[in-house]
Structure 1
Amino acid sequence: MKILLINPPRRNDSYMYPPTSLLYISQAVRRVGHEAEIVDIPYLLENFPDKYSLFDNSLFEYLLGKDCDVLGLGGLVSTYFFYDVFVKKFRAVKKNIPIVVGCSVGEPIKEVWEDHNPVDYLVESDGEIVIQRLMDGLDAKDYASIEKIPGLHYLKDGRYIRNEPEAIHSIDESVPFLSYDEIDHEYYIVELSKWLEDVIPDRSLIGNEKPRFLPLLTSRGCPYVCSFCFHFNKKMNFHSPDYVVDYIKFLKEKYRINGLYVIDDLFVVDKKRTIRLCERLHQEDLGVVFFGSGGKPGLVGSEVLASMKKAGFIRFSYGIESGSQKILDVMVKETTVEQNIESVKLTEENNVPCFANILFGMPEEDIQTLNETRDFLIKLGLNTSRFYASWAVAYPGTPLYQWMKDNDLVGDTREYLFKVGSIGKYIYNFSNLPLRKLEQKVFELHREVDMAYHLKHKEYKLYLIKLSEILVGKIVYLLNPELRDRIKTFGRQKILRKKMQRLEKRSTAEIEKWITTLNNNADQPQFAP
């Protein structure tokens, strides 16, 4: 049997990541004797705009012309807007082809699939073993066994029946080395490397070679339940040091990489394991550097960070999220401001360049909590090149979205999904401030942090530039939202084009225009404050 796997278009994205989840699935399918093909839609829209488009149906015609026995859909929950249209078109042409949906666009919104676009199967948790069993069952027409597959939701009488996922004891055994041969891996190596060059604290840390990065996943899962974050797996599963080392050697030989972006949800969750892995990486001297996320303050210590430095980590980011204890508690971060400060200081002391992720606009956010975050960043000596700011977005499947539903702040989930893009867009104002006041305060916060940094380092010209931006901003924020957004967009394009290797993709503009043409109220104003 053959499964056709779809990597959907995404909104407000730079498309720097290869479709790793679908690559894992396609290799799992082949491992048990079936066929798989991935259609990478973001890549097609960006690189072949004259051939594939959402507006003239050329993309849909291409997809519907593909032969398959099973259709597999994956992606983030924010990609549902595409599937809402595509599944209907697919069903009209290929009525008897079973459809299976995985990742966060699947089971977390199962009521949307039930009520608006019923597909045959949804996959909960990691999908490799589930998809293997499903393909075997469909091939044998053994529908009784399919209805017993752990982690599978199957449609019956218009509703999904859930099978509890089973524990995976060894992902070394169930997950073979991930190959990128079936996609344009060179394109993604270049795109990911551009992004890393933009955000790396010191370009000399990479060496003289042109950076060639790919993602690296050394573990799966996260046991925490931060209110804004979505995870399938609460249980952690780890690859062994042997597996990680051998896999890096495989990637280095096959794709000539010299760096890896560690994409674990929580790389440092087990201190002993992190130290063992990093010590092994240091001993092997593989000739690659590591650019990591997955840091949680309170879980690191000097021994962990020293081992990471020896292993070759040139940047490590933490989910700090806020400098206000009040907001950290709202987020259910299970960390304190003091732990955040200590972790950043320890990381700097161990010469691992540190980066902080900050989230604005959560419930209870106000002037005081924003000032606390500003003062926190200034105290640590960070500037805007050392922290990444995003807006709080309630994605279906998260506690924050459930909070919206419990408080009657959202009605129809399907309609909401047509408004949800990336963390760069503020969909609903959870804060205690009017939206314009919140946006202006965050705008000024960025510049105040930079001003403190420039003043400390006696960079007076840069200080005055940031001060002038605040003064101009006070005028801009008096304008109506549409004109204000046009000015901000113009400014970003002029400034960022000079500073950044990678830019927002051309195809994202096409996607946004296409969404507004759909008959789903997508062109209505976003949720009001």
Structure 2
Amino acid sequence: MKILLIFPPLVHKQIYDLPEFVENEASLHPPLGLMSLAGYLQRFSRHEVRILDANAQKMEYRQLSQALQEYGPDLVGITVNTTFLYDAALTAKTVKEVDRDIHVCLGGAHVNLYPNQTMRLEGVDSVVVGDGELSFMKLADSLSEEKNGSGIDGVFISKTDRDKKINPMNPAYYIDDLDSLPFPARGLVNPQDYYSVFSSGKTKLMTSLVTSRGCPFRCSFCQLPFEKLRMRSPKNVIEEIEECVENGYAEFDIYDDTFNFSIDRVIEICKLICEKKFKIEWSFRGRVDRVNREMLQWAKKAGCSRIQFGIESGSQRILSAYNKGISLSDVYEAFRLMRQVGIASFAYFIVGGPGETLQDFEESLTLIKKIKPDYITFSILKPMPGTAIYDLSLKKGLRKNDYWEGFARNPTKDFIPPLWEENFTLSELIALRNRALRSFYFRLSYIARRATTIKSLNELTNMVKSGILLFRDICVSPIFKASIQHVKKT
């Protein structure tokens, strides 16, 4: 059976919670979910599999249709997140326009939230809930034997299961032993398609790496549907890194939701990297309350160049509203240790949370001045489906209807998800976000400090380009839009 795994063209993605540069141009990561499916199929089946990252290749739907005609797949798997549901649905319709007999299966974070609604979309034959590697392969096996794929854990067929009550948290849909999975099929994508503004050189290949799945924390703004944390062994992680190094990769972005949940595990991974003498650079996303000096020293020795922390707010009251489970003292200590050890820090903040006032926002700016991160970003809170904050917005009457469920049933290209506009309007939230970014990135002292850290011409090029594009988004564009509005009024 010929299988094509597709990351859709992101032609209709809505952006305004982050600056356009941060959302679209700062980085592009390989589709690890699809690569993991492909790796499993290559190892345990005889099916022929390809990956088409239509977003990375900047495809339009006409080109997607042509690619489908040229390959002629029997089964198409499409990954879908709520933020690009419309494009995923349009991709499914495009497949059926090419050949009605191609079986179309959707999987991914959105399907875990809205399995029944996804099954009812035009052109969708089945959905996979949970970890897809084993379930999707069993679906392919069933279809190749001219069966309909029913009766497989985690697989639901549109014709027979669309009204079935599905529990996405069912443990049967998830894989506990992550070491049993083959490594992602990186050979099926073009590594040159992927990049990051933090990359230190054009000659170095970069990739993403996932060493765990799930998250035990329950932040109120987070969409993660499965709270059980499953971690790969340090030995297994090192084996994947070694395979990547042998294939020319030298930069890694560890994409775990909380890589440093176990400090001891992080240290063990770092020690193994040092033993192998890998000449690599890597970064990870972590929590400030899971940091100590020993871990950071080993991370630095093993090539860790940057750690990204979700701080969210400088107000303890807002942190509590987000159910972050961290204190401001945790933040101060983590960033103090980072500066001493010499690892770059990236702080994520949110503006516009439940009950947030201008004073809370000012406290975030004050915190930034005190902890002195190397990089920051501010996003505007967008209540996403499946989150406690979204449920709270409906309960408080900020929105009268379950608009995300309506969008899941009938995705449209002009859908604009509301923000949390309790104390601020949309324009005020954008203005606050832009003010925070301007006050941080366009200080002469910051620019001078960043210039002293540049190690290559490529880094200098990235820094200049990033600065210009960020200036466009948070300085020039708002002035231009305000001028247009003034002209319209007069």
TM-score (norm 1): 0.74
Counterpart residue type for residue 429 of structure 2: L
Number of matched pairs: 444
User: Does structure 2 conserve the Cα–Cα contact (< 8 Å) formed by 1:114 and 1:159?
Assistant: no
Aligned residue in 2 for 1:214: 207
Aligned residue in 2 for 1:483: 484
Structure 2's unaligned 5+ residue stretches are 14-22, 451-470
Q: 1:402 to 1:97 in 2, by over 3 A?
A: farther
Q: 1:340 to 1:37 in 2, by over 3 A?
A: same
Counterpart residue type for residue 8 of structure 1: P
User: Does structure 2 conserve the Cα–Cα contact (< 8 Å) formed by 1:364 and 1:430?
Assistant: no
Counterpart residue type for residue 162 of structure 1: I
Q: 1:345 to 1:453 in 2, by over 3 A?
A: farther
Aligned partner of 1:316 among 286, 296, 307? 307
Aligned partner of 2:73 among 68, 72, 76? 68
Q: 1:386 to 1:478 in 2, by over 3 A?
A: closer
Aligned partner of 1:138 among 138, 143, 167? 143
CA distance in 1 between partners of 2:171 and 2:103 (Å): 21
User: Does structure 1 conserve the Cα–Cα contact (< 8 Å) formed by 2:258 and 2:287?
Assistant: yes
Superposition deviation, residue 345 in structure 1: 1.4
CA distance in 2 between partners of 1:474 and 1:185 (Å): 33
CA distance in 2 between partners of 1:366 and 1:420 (Å): 28
User: Does structure 2 conserve the Cα–Cα contact (< 8 Å) formed by 1:298 and 1:335?
Assistant: yes
Q: Secondary structure at the match of 2:140?
A: helix
Aligned residue in 2 for 1:509: none
User: Does structure 2 conserve the Cα–Cα contact (< 8 Å) formed by 1:420 and 1:427?
Assistant: no
CA distance in 1 between partners of 2:98 and 2:383 (Å): 35
Q: 1:68 to 1:268 in 2, by over 3 A?
A: same
User: Does structure 1 conserve the Cα–Cα contact (< 8 Å) formed by 2:338 and 2:344?
Assistant: yes
CA distance in 2 between partners of 1:71 and 1:392 (Å): 34
Give CA-to-partner distance per residue, 1:407-440, whole Å, 9 cap, x none.
425532246764578xxxx842434123333333
Q: Secondary structure at the match of 2:224?
A: coil
User: Does structure 1 conserve the Cα–Cα contact (< 8 Å) formed by 2:113 and 2:225?
Assistant: no
Give CA-to-partner distance per residue, 1:338-363, whole Å, 9 cap, x none.
21222211222222221111122222
For residues 269-418 of structure 1, the aligned pairs below 5 Å read 269-290=261-282, 292-382=283-373, 386-406=375-395, 407=397, 408=400, 410-411=402-403, 412-414=406-408, 418=413
Aligned partner of 1:36 among 49, 56, 60? 49
CA distance in 1 between partners of 2:342 and 2:412 (Å): 42
Give CA-to-partner distance per residue, 1:315-346, whole Å, 9 cap, x none.
11111111112221222211122212222112
User: Does structure 2 conserve the Cα–Cα contact (< 8 Å) formed by 1:171 and 1:237?
Assistant: yes
Aligned partner of 2:224 among 231, 234, 250? 231
Q: 1:119 to 1:161 in 2, by over 3 A?
A: farther
| 1:153 lines up with 2:160 in the alignment | no
CA distance in 2 between partners of 1:103 and 1:300 (Å): 31
Counterpart residue type for residue 39 of structure 2: Q
For residues 105-124 of structure 1, the aligned pairs below 5 Å read 105-117=110-122, 119-124=124-129
Counterpart residue type for residue 212 of structure 1: L
CA distance in 2 between partners of 1:416 and 1:26 (Å): 28
Aligned residue in 2 for 1:508: none
Aligned residue in 2 for 1:26: 38
Give CA-to-partner distance per residue, 1:49-83, whole Å, 9 cap, x none.
xxx534xx343343355422222111322221123
Q: Secondary structure at the match of 1:126?
A: coil
CA distance in 2 between partners of 1:330 and 1:355 (Å): 22
User: Does structure 1 conserve the Cα–Cα contact (< 8 Å) formed by 2:223 and 2:387?
Assistant: yes
Q: 1:221 to 1:107 in 2, by over 3 A?
A: closer
Aligned residue in 2 for 1:445: 436
Counterpart residue type for residue 390 of structure 1: S
| 1:180 lines up with 2:186 in the alignment | yes
Superposition deviation, residue 8 in structure 1: 0.6
Q: 1:344 to 1:485 in 2, by over 3 A?
A: farther
Superposition deviation, residue 272 in structure 1: 1.6
| 1:162 lines up with 2:162 in the alignment | no
User: Does structure 1 conserve the Cα–Cα contact (< 8 Å) formed by 2:2 and 2:73?
Assistant: yes
CA distance in 1 between partners of 2:39 and 2:449 (Å): 55
Aligned residue in 2 for 1:268: 260
Counterpart residue type for residue 198 of structure 2: L
Structure 1's unaligned 5+ residue stretches are 46-51, 198-202, 460-469, 487-529
Counterpart residue type for residue 344 of structure 2: P
Counterpart residue type for residue 156 of structure 2: H
CA distance in 1 between partners of 2:68 and 2:412 (Å): 23
Superposition deviation, residue 22 in structure 1: 0.9
CA distance in 2 between partners of 1:68 and 1:458 (Å): 52
| 1:84 lines up with 2:89 in the alignment | yes
CA distance in 2 between partners of 1:317 and 1:419 (Å): 33
CA distance in 2 between partners of 1:63 and 1:453 (Å): 51
- Please, what is the CA RMSD of the aligned residues? 3.5
TM-score (norm 2): 0.80
CA distance in 2 between partners of 1:317 and 1:41 (Å): 28
Counterpart residue type for residue 3 of structure 2: I
CA distance in 2 between partners of 1:453 and 1:381 (Å): 14
CA distance in 2 between partners of 1:131 and 1:475 (Å): 47
Aligned residue in 1 for 2:453: none
Superposition deviation, residue 136 in structure 1: 2.0
Q: 1:452 to 1:262 in 2, by over 3 A?
A: same
Aligned partner of 1:436 among 427, 435, 442? 427
Q: Percent identity?
A: 24
Q: Secondary structure at the match of 2:354?
A: coil
User: Does structure 1 conserve the Cα–Cα contact (< 8 Å) formed by 2:434 and 2:475?
Assistant: no
Superposition deviation, residue 93 in structure 1: 5.1
User: Does structure 2 conserve the Cα–Cα contact (< 8 Å) formed by 1:154 and 1:161?
Assistant: no
Aligned residue in 2 for 1:200: none
User: Does structure 2 conserve the Cα–Cα contact (< 8 Å) formed by 1:314 and 1:352?
Assistant: yes
Superposition deviation, residue 41 in structure 1: 0.9
CA distance in 2 between partners of 1:391 and 1:429 (Å): 8
Aligned partner of 2:198 among 193, 196, 199? 196
CA distance in 2 between partners of 1:265 and 1:475 (Å): 34
CA distance in 1 between partners of 2:412 and 2:217 (Å): 25
Superposition deviation, residue 266 in structure 1: 0.9
CA distance in 1 between partners of 2:412 and 2:53 (Å): 21
CA distance in 2 between partners of 1:485 and 1:350 (Å): 50
Superposition deviation, residue 20 in structure 1: 1.8
Q: Secondary structure at the match of 1:294?
A: strand
